[in-house]
Amino acid sequence: MQRLQMLAKATGRLGTETAFEVLARARALEAQGRHVVHLEIGEPDFDTPAYIVEAGIQAMREGFTHYGPSAGLPEVRAAIAEYAGAMRGVRVAPEEVVMTPGGKPVLFFGLMALVDPGDEVIYPNPGFPIYESVIRYLDAKPVPIRLSEDKAFSLDLDELESLVGPRTKMLILNTPANPTGGVIPKRDAERIAELAQKHDFWVLTDEIYARILYDGGHHSILSVPGMRERTLLLDGHSKTFAMTGWRLGFAVAPQPVADMIGKFMTNCNSCTASFTQRAGMAAVQGPQDAVEAMVAEFRRRRDLIVDGLNAIPKVRCLRPQGAFYVFPNITATGKKSAELASLLLQEAGVATLAGTAFGAYGEGYLRLSYANSQDNIREALKRMQSCIESLA
């Protein structure tokens, strides 16, 4: 108690990611000899492609083991400007790119650069829990927008319009989305852009899953005319190139914002690891077939898990268009999300997350990551089916 009182007040507003807590609980069960199928953690189970690993090793041998410029190595910023711009059909200058250790710092530094206490930030709910955590930490006002199953977990644009007010400073978008796999269609991005311009707010577009798409192309709000000067793009290598542990992400932003993110980098990390950046440059410049193979395998798993979940009585699951998550509706089981998730872990040895780990509107859902082998997914489905069938 005394120790808690020592902490700064703002720390009481900082949230967390339940995935890491569930992983720890699952590991504790495994330490007791139980077998657990892991569907809780959001990282590709594939190894980083060999050509990227080789580039990282080569970079270390060549001496990329020192500090570099805070915003990133010039050749890496140039390569990422080319890559991020080409994907979205826009021209990006190297000065508008900042390399960061993972995508998460773009969120933290981006909000620190743009949001004042009392400003309102609209963000998706259910959504990545770090959005609300950072908004609250900065003493800004979190304004959740509900993503509902009947809209395929996309935004309800009328509701969005009703939430925008004179204090709206920023809207956070995530497409494809964690935890639902939903995507924002092109026509919606265009209407959101109109709103942003009319009401003069920033858009932070989190596109960390942009390359993990199954049923169509990626539509970034950054591509909509007039949006470059009010958009902060978060992207990175963690999911696309199976590089979660390397820690590599990047921001694309108007230069004053990019410069400020660079200044936060100076204050916080000095720079992103130089050899990691060089590996990340090789990743975007090299052959992309490893990414295509990963996405093809994710698609097979998506179909396996969606069909399997829909075959379980009292469970209903949409077929998501992107990312590697499903968000099945479990209301018919009569259990609350957290209760069912913990039952599945304790009784069936299947680690999942409660939908409420992603916000209050996640009640009635579970989040399952299908970044696991088809055999493990089949085993998890079998265990879930018998556990759910045994409920009164």
Summarize as ranges the residues that interact with ligand PLP (CB under 6 A).
42, 102-104, 128, 174, 178, 206, 208, 236, 238, 244, 249
Contact 235, 229 (CB under 8 A): no
37 vs 208 by CB, closer to ligand PLP: 208
CB of 47 to ligand PLP, least distance (A): 16
103 vs 308 by CB, closer to ligand PLP: 103
Structure tokens at 8: 């700064």
Residue closest to 141 by CA, chosen among 173, 110, 163: 163
244 vs 329 by CB, closer to ligand PLP: 244
CB of 142 to ligand PLP, least distance (A): 16
Shortest-Cβ-distance residue relative to ligand PLP: 102
CB of 207 to ligand PLP, least distance (A): 9
CB of 224 to ligand PLP, least distance (A): 21
Residue closest to 309 by CA, chosen among 39, 34, 24, 41: 39
Buried (b) or exposed (e) across 103-117, using 16+ Cβ within 10 A? bbbbbbbbbbbbbee
26 vs 212 by CB, closer to ligand PLP: 212
Q: How far apart, in whole angstroms, are the C-alpha atoms of residue 345 and residue 354?
A: 11
108 vs 214 by CB, closer to ligand PLP: 108
CB of 21 to ligand PLP, least distance (A): 15
174 vs 223 by CB, closer to ligand PLP: 174
- Bridge-based pairing of strands 202-206 and 168-174 is parallel
Contact 313, 388 (CB under 8 A): yes
206 vs 381 by CB, closer to ligand PLP: 206
CB of 313 to ligand PLP, least distance (A): 30
- Cis bond upstream, residue 328 (ω within 30): no
Instruction: Report how far apart, in Å, the C-alpha atoms of 350 and of each of 23, 123, 367 are.
Output: 11, 30, 12
CB of 325 to ligand PLP, least distance (A): 9
96 vs 206 by CB, closer to ligand PLP: 206
CB of 270 to ligand PLP, least distance (A): 18
